[in-house]
Amino acid sequence: MELGLKDKVAIVTGASQGLGKAVAIALAQEGCRVVLSARSEAHLEQVADSIRQRGGIAESIAEDATQSQAMQSLVDRTIDKFSVVHILVNITGTLGQTQVFEQISDEEWLEVFKINLFSTVQLIRAALPHMQQQKWGRIINLASESGIQPDPTMPHYNASKAALINLTKSLSKAYAKDGILVNAVSPAFIETPMVDKMLEQQAKSKGISQQQAEVEFLHQNRPNLVLERAGKPEEVAAVVVFLASEATSFVTGSNYRVDGGSVASIN
C-alpha cells in the first residue's frame, strides 16, 4: 500500500527513546523527513544517526517541553530547516513521581498536566497556521488506555490522558475544514522505559521485585489483556504511521486502542 508519506515533514516529540524513537524510525522508513525532539540532545542524536545510517533524513532539536516557548521554538526551527510541517506526533509524557492520590502535591498535578497536556496544546498551536496555509495536516496524540479505563493509582496521569483524548476530539471538529485530521492512539502496557519506571516505583513502594510488580499489575489492572503479553513500541508505531498517511483521509476524531484487548468496553 502506498502511504503517501514520502518527503512529508514530521515532528515527533519524546523521540529520544521508547515509543517516540520507534515512531520516528517508522516514519523515516516510509520516506518522511523527521524532526526529533526531547530534552536529551545526546540521546536524540543517537536516534537521528540511526535513521541517517538507514538512508533516512532526520534532524534532532532538543527542547524542554516544560518551558513556555519550547514548542514554538521547535516549530520555528523546523520551518527554518524544511519550510513546511505536515505531521505532528505528540508523545512527550510523564507518569509523575507519586502514585497514591492523597500523597500527590498540587505542584506534581500541575507538572503532569503541563507535560502531558499543555505541551501538546502549545505544539499544535504553533504548527496550526502552517497546516492551515497548506490545507493539509495530520496530528496524532499519544494518549493511553488509562485515559479510558483508569487505574486506581496515578490519577493525575490518568486524568491528563483523558483530557488529551477530549482535546483530540475537539480539535478534529474545529479544523477538519482546513484539511487537518486529528486522532489519538491509546497504548496499554508497552515495553518502554516509562512502563519500566512505573513498575520500579510500584516494586519499591510495596517492597517486592519488579517482576512481581509486573505480575501484580497485570492481574489487578489488566485482567482483560487477552493477548497476555506486553506490546512492542513498533506495534504502536505502525498505527501512528497509518494515521499519518493518505490511507486514513476519512479518519478524524478517533482514538485507536493498541491495548492487546485490555479495554473491556465496546465504545
Catalytic sites, residue numbers: 157
| Separation between Cα atoms, residue 89 and residue 26, nearest integer Å | 12
| Separation between Cα atoms, residue 47 and residue 220, nearest integer Å | 35
Whether residue 267 is contained in a domain is answered as no
Same domain, 78 and 207: no
Same domain, 57 and 184: yes
User: How many domains would you assign to the chain?
Assistant: 2
Same domain, 17 and 139: yes
On the question of pLDDT at 221 being above 80, the answer is no
Give pLDDT, residue 267: 64
- What does the pLDDT look like over 46-64, one tens digit per residue? 999 999 999 999 999 999 9
Which residue, chain included where needed, has cell 530534552? 39
On the question of pLDDT at 5 being above 80, the answer is yes
pTM beyond cutoff 0.85 = yes
Same domain, 198 and 241: no
Whether residue 45 is contained in a domain is answered as yes
Classified as helix, coil or strand, 246 is helix
- What does the pLDDT look like over 119-160, one tens digit per residue? 999 999 999 999 999 999 999 999 999 999 898 889 999 999
Name the DSSP class of 247: G
On the question of pLDDT at 198 being above 80, the answer is no
Same domain, 122 and 226: no
Q: Which three cell numbers stand for residue 219?
A: 492481574
Same domain, 162 and 66: yes
Q: Domain of residue 166: give its range.
A: 9-190+232-258
By the 8 A CB rule, do 213 and 203 touch? yes
Whether residue 265 is contained in a domain is answered as no
